[in-house]
Amino acid sequence: MGNSSSKADNVVGSESPDSPEAILREMAKSHSTANISPSITCSSASSGINLKSESKLSRSASGADVTEKYLTQLVPVEKLAVILKEKSVKLGVNGIASDVFVTQVFPHYADLGKRLFTFLHLNSRATTTYLGTMAFRQQCERFLGIMDDAKVLECYIKMYAQEDNPDFIDKEGVTRLLHICYTIAMQHSGNGFVCSEINRTFSSVTKSIFFSQDSMSLGYVCRWFEQNLMRLVLLIHKYCVHTLSTAYRGLEQGPPPCGIELQTPVLEQRNPFTEKSPSGNVVDASSSLMPLSQAWLLAGALPPSYSRPQQVTSPNSSKASAAQIFKEKLSMMPSHWTLLYNSNEHGLGANRFLHHVLGYRGPTLILIHAENDQTYLVAAPGEWKETHLYVGGDGSCIMQLLPKFVILERKPNILYLNTCVRGYPKGLRAGSDPRKPIISIDEHFEKIDIKGIAHVLLSIEARKKNEKII
């Protein structure tokens, strides 16, 4: 998994000095400067960042770190701290109270706000119930300055750990983390649709992580997410960085009635999970083999090429605004996946599958539904071809989606489709071992073997990337 600090996103002519991307780059620069010479003092009026050397001897009761360390002061965080303290003082608190932080900064995500404040409070080791202004600034700046993806993931897993046993996390904690990731992704992608299968989707993840255990260590869960669903948690971190960096502007002008306004025309479209049958009748998304929550989960597990949105362009100019670009990066929801083939509508058979799938050159998702409520996915990064050879690029992947979410294999040259070349096995196969493929469907698309065990094949669905804006 790549390090988020390896490349900075370039936003030409649209990035404000206190945007999340600009702040993170300035934090990286200031950290590097501080490591070279902690006594250097500099300021930048254009970016609103001051780097000062402070040397003190102890830690205050309200959590301010006054040991000999540099203090990076970000103007957005400093302004936010001043505003929150003013509101807390009115409640008789000489600092920043948890309730004020939650209601003012995260009014629509109270649970996330409480957990973030608790995380900042614990890291400051404050003995008071509130955070002092300096301690709040220090912890926010350190939080914003986290550049390593693995460290980001660790922070959020810790936020959702058990209260009485902070070294472990249970199923409820993981479910709450998944729920906030899903909620933020949906509400900021233009696809705020309720999914009736959401509990089932979350359950497939917790079954994969916990097996028959009630809780697991934070280290184990961090490694599981890092290997399977890293991008989901990185998405929520982008939102928190954006919120902490821009909340002061809304508070200076009064409480925002609807939170942060983020408009992205490319994602403001009809529900992509409502399809039309060949007869023209509308087919509800609930009848699909890929519910909305499951599609969201796949967007976090598969490479970005399967779900990357189109370039966002402003309707009034040739360049996208900073808010539009941020929302594009925040959302990885595959709103542009459309139906190529559905055996329930087009008929189950090799000829019907080949007719609808062959010839499409982009990434495709093949969903296979078998007996006993089992659903598998074969992800192809490029065009399907009839050949006696195993094909597939770096993004080729085989997964079990239900009843457990498991990545079975992820490597090139694991896809096979042959119905006409004599002398070679016929049918659709997936797996790196030709003698023991993970999934094997016969040439008539009537039988399926999964890990060498025969199952009843119920239906198959294929989806593609739609490159057009609807």
Listing DSSP states for 357-382 in one string gives HTT--S-EEEEEEETTTEEEEEEESS
Specify whether 202 is located in the same domain as 331.
Answer: yes
| Helix axis angle, 110-124 to 149-159, nearest 10° | 110
Specify whether 207 is located in the same domain as 355.
Answer: no
How confident is the model at residue 295, as a pLDDT? 85
How confident is the model at residue 258, as a pLDDT? 38
Give the integer Cα–Cα distance in Å for 262 and 269: 15
Tally the C-alpha atoms within 13 A of residue 278's C-alpha that lie toward its C-beta.
Answer: 9
Specify whether 139 is located in the same domain as 172.
Answer: no
Mean per-residue pLDDT for 269-291? Answer: 47
Q: Which residues contact 367 (CB under 8 A, 6 or more apart)?
A: 289, 290, 375, 376, 377, 401, 460, 461, 462, 463
Specify whether 202 is located in the same domain as 343.
Answer: no
How confident is the model at residue 286, as a pLDDT? 38
Would 446 be classed as within a structural domain? Answer: yes
User: Using an 8 Å Cβ cutoff, are 291 and 285 in contact?
Assistant: yes
**Residue in 368, 387, 246, 228 with CA at minimum distance from that of residue 299:** 228
DSSP for residue 9: P
Q: Is the pLDDT score of 9 beyond 90? A: no
Residue 294: domain span: 168-253+290-307+325-335
Strand partners, 50: 43, 73
* C-beta atoms surrounding 43 within 10 Å: 11
Specify whether 352 is located in the same domain as 442.
Answer: yes
Backbone angles phi, psi at 183, to 5 degrees: -60, -45
Specify whether 303 is located in the same domain as 431.
Answer: no
How confident is the model at residue 64, as a pLDDT? 63
Would 89 be classed as within a structural domain? Answer: yes
Mean pLDDT for the chain?
78
Give the integer Cα–Cα distance in Å for 440 and 428: 6
Q: Is the pLDDT score of 120 beyond 60? A: yes
Q: How many domains does the chain have?
A: 3
Look-up of token digits 């220090």: 138
Helix (H) or strand (E) holding 409: strand 406-410
Q: Is the pLDDT score of 265 beyond 80? A: no
Specify whether 415 is located in the same domain as 435.
Answer: yes
Q: Per mean pLDDT, which range of 3-17, 277-291, 325-339, 403-417 is the poorest?
A: 3-17
192-222 pLDDT per residue, tens: 567 889 999 999 999 999 998 999 999 999 9
Last residue of a domain, one of 145, 177, 197: 145
Q: Is the pLDDT score of 466 beyond 80? A: no
Specify whether 139 is located in the same domain as 176.
Answer: no
